[in-house]
Amino acid sequence: MPKQNYSIVLCGQAGQGVQTVEFLLTGIFKESGLNVFSTKEYMSRVRGGMNSTELRIGTEPVRAYMNRIDVLIALDKGAVEHLSKRIDENTIVVTEKDFLPANFSHSHIDISFSKIASEVGNKLYSNTVAVGTAAGLFGIDVETVKQQVKKYFGRKGEEVIEKNIQAMQKGYEFGSDVVKNQKIDLSIVSSGKSSEQIVLNGGDAVSLGAIAGGCNFVSSYPMSPSTPVLVFLAQKAKEFGIVVEQAEDEIAAVNMAIGSWYAGGRAMATTSGGGFALMTEGVSLAAMLETPVVIHVAQRPGPATGLPTRTEQADLELVLYSGHGEFPRVIFAPGTLEEAFELTAKAFNIADKYQIPVFILTDQYFIDSNYNIPKLNAKAVKVDKYISKTQKDYQRYAFTKNGISPRGIPGYGEGLVIVDSDEHDTEGHITEDLELRVKMVNKRLARQEEIIAEAFEPTVWPSKEYKNLVVCWGSTYHIVKEALESLGDKHTSMMHFSQVYPLHRDTLKYLKQARQVAVVESNASGQLAKLIKLHTGFDIEKKILKYSGMSFCVEELADSFANLLGIGE
Query: Site residues (CB under 8 A) for other proteins?
Result: 198-200, 204, 208, 211-217, 219, 236-245, 247-249, 251-253, 255-260, 262-267, 281-282, 285, 289, 375-379, 383, 385, 387, 409-412, 414-422, 428-430
Paired with 110 in beta bridges are 95
Q: Which DSSP category does 320 fall into?
A: H
CB 475 within 8 A of CB 522: yes
Which residue number, 345 or 483, has a Cβ lying nearer to other proteins?
A: 345
**Omega before 225 within 30 of 0, i.e. cis:** yes
As measured in angstroms, the least distance from the Cβ of 10 to other proteins is 21
Going by C-alpha positions, the residue among 116, 89, 87, 94 that lies closest to residue 178 is: 94
Residues 6+ apart with CB under 8 A from 377: none
Distance of CA 254 to the CA centre of its chain: 21
Least distance in Å: CB of 379 to other proteins? 5
Q: Say how far apart CA 362 and CA 346 lie, in whole Å.
A: 15
CB nearer to other proteins: pick between 186 and 376: 376
CB of 305 to other proteins, least distance (A): 20
What is the closest distance, in whole angstroms, from the C-beta atom of residue 284 to other proteins in the complex?
8
3-state secondary structure (DSSP) of residue 411: strand
Q: Residue 106: what residue type? A: H
**Residue placing its CB nearer to other proteins in the complex, 142 or 198:** 198
Report the C-alpha gap between 311 and 318 in whole angstroms.
16
- Which helix (H) or strand (E) element contains residue 513? helix 507-513
Nearest Cα residue to 75 out of 46, 38, 50: 50
CB atoms within 10 A of CB 181: 8
Q: Which is nearer to other proteins, 75 or 258 (CB)?
A: 258
Question: In the complex, what is the shortest distance from the CB of residue 473 to other proteins, in angstroms, rounded to a whole number?
Answer: 26
Read off the amino acid at residue 135.
Answer: A
Tell the smallest beta-carbon distance from residue 426 to other proteins (Å): 14
For other proteins, which is the closer residue by CB, 276 or 561? 276
- Beta strand ranges found along 253-398 (DSSP E): 267-271, 293-299, 330-332, 357-363, 370-373, 387-390
CB 361 within 8 A of CB 332: yes
Nearest approach, Cβ of 407 to other proteins (angstroms)?
11
Shortest gap between Cβ of 351 and other proteins (angstroms)? 15
Backbone angles phi, psi at 410, to 5 degrees: -60, 135
C-alpha distances (whole Å) from 300 to each of 57, 63, 315 are 27, 21, 8
Q: Which is nearer to other proteins, 47 or 375 (CB)?
A: 375
197: amino acid identity, one letter: Q
The CB-of-57 to other proteins minimum distance in angstroms stands at 18
Q: Give the nearer residue to other proteins in terms of CB position, either 58 or 209.
A: 209
- What is d(CA 110, CA 122) in angstroms, rounded to the nearest whole number? 20
* Rounded Cα–Cα distance for residues 297 and 359 (Å): 7
Least distance between other proteins and beta carbon 412 (Å): 6
Nearer to other proteins, 4 or 377 (CB): 377
**Do 298 and 323 contact (CB within 8 A), yes or no?**
no
Helix (H, G, I), strand (E, B) or coil at 497: strand
Nearer to other proteins, 414 or 539 (CB): 414
Which of residues 171 and 213 has its CB atom nearest to other proteins in the complex? 213
- Given the complex with other proteins, which of 1 and 434 has the nearer CB atom? 434
As measured in angstroms, the least distance from the Cβ of 32 to other proteins is 17
Of 421 and 563, the one with the shorter C-beta distance to other proteins is: 421
- 5 strand-pairing partners: 58
| CB-neighbour burial class of residue 185 (10 A; exposed 0-12, middle 13-18, buried 19+) | exposed
DSSP 334-357: --SHHHHHHHHHHHHHHHHHHTSE
- In the bound complex, what is the minimum distance in angstroms from residue 173's beta carbon to other proteins? 31
In whole angstroms, what is the distance from residue 379 CA to residue 342 CA?
A: 10
**Which residue, 420 or 454, is less far from other proteins as judged by CB?**
420
Bridge pairing between strands 516-521 and 468-473 = parallel
* Minimum distance, C-beta of residue 419 to other proteins, in the bound complex (Å): 6
Strands (E), 158-201: 198-201
CA distance 278 to 346: 25
